[in-house]
């Protein structure tokens, strides 16, 4: 399997989060890596164990997947209530106090391909050192990038705390 650690995404000092599923999706594992690049940050993610896509059954229900994916303001992956885990991570990280859809912590959704997702993208909203001590959350439903304050992305399935990573 392709690994983000093989130097394809990164060549220098890294900031990373190891992602682990909670009680709603215990099989999720993966990594999010952040690298300082000219003008911003390159973000690479690789995750396994995601639940398969399931469309909403009723008009007012949310689908399962694609999965909302964000940086949250606090570096805590405390489960708390198993039916609504990871609330200790706080809200989406939003240092510039922007409306939802333009938070620094708003990322593209993750698409589950037989439980696997991998992507990389560039953001100019922060540098890796800015997110050390924050958390990364994978949500049950897609982010709509409109609903305030958090995009109606559903329950929190997995969490990882961002820290320095040395190779």
> Does an H or E element contain 160, and which?
strand 156-165
CB 77 within 8 A of CB 138: no
**Structural domain of 65:** 4-165
Output the average pLDDT for the chain.
89
Task: Count how many domains the chain has.
Answer: 1
pLDDT in tens, 101-119: 888 999 999 999 999 999 9
CB 142 within 8 A of CB 63: yes
- CATH number for the domain that contains residue 104: 2.60.40.200
The structure tokens 């991570």 sit at: 89
| Dihedral angle, C-alpha 64, 123, 14, 27, nearest 10 ° | 0
d(CA 134, CA 136): 7
Kindly give the confidence (pLDDT) of every residue in the chain, 167 residues in length, as a single tens digit, with 9 standing for 90 and above.
334 444 556 555 679 999 999 999 999 999 999 999 999 999 999 999 999 988 888 877 788 889 999 999 999 999 999 999 999 999 999 999 988 888 899 999 999 999 999 999 999 999 999 999 999 999 999 988 787 776 788 999 999 999 997 66
Model's pTM, two decimal places? Answer: 0.90
């Amino acid at each position: 399997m392709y690994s983000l650690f093989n130097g394809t995404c990164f060549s220098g000092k890294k900031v990373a989060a190891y992602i682990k599923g909670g009680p709603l999706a215990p099989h999720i594992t993966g990594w999010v890596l952040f690298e300082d690049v000219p003008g911003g940050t390159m973000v690479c993610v690789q995750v396994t164990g995601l639940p398969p896509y399931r469309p909403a059954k009723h008009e007012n229900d949310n689908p399962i997947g694609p999965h909302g994916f964000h940086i949250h303001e606090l570096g805590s992956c405390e489960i708390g209530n198993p039916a609504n885990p990871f609330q200790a991570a706080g809200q989406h990280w939003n240092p510039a106090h922007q409306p939802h859809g333009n938070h620094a912590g708003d990322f593209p959704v993750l698409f589950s391909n037989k439980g696997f997702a991998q992507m990389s993208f560039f953001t100019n909203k922060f540098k890796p050192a800015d997110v050390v001590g924050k958390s990364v959350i994978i949500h049950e439903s897609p982010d709509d990038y409109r609903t305030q304050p958090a995009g109606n992305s559903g329950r929190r399935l997995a969490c990882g705390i961002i820290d320095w990573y040395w190779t």
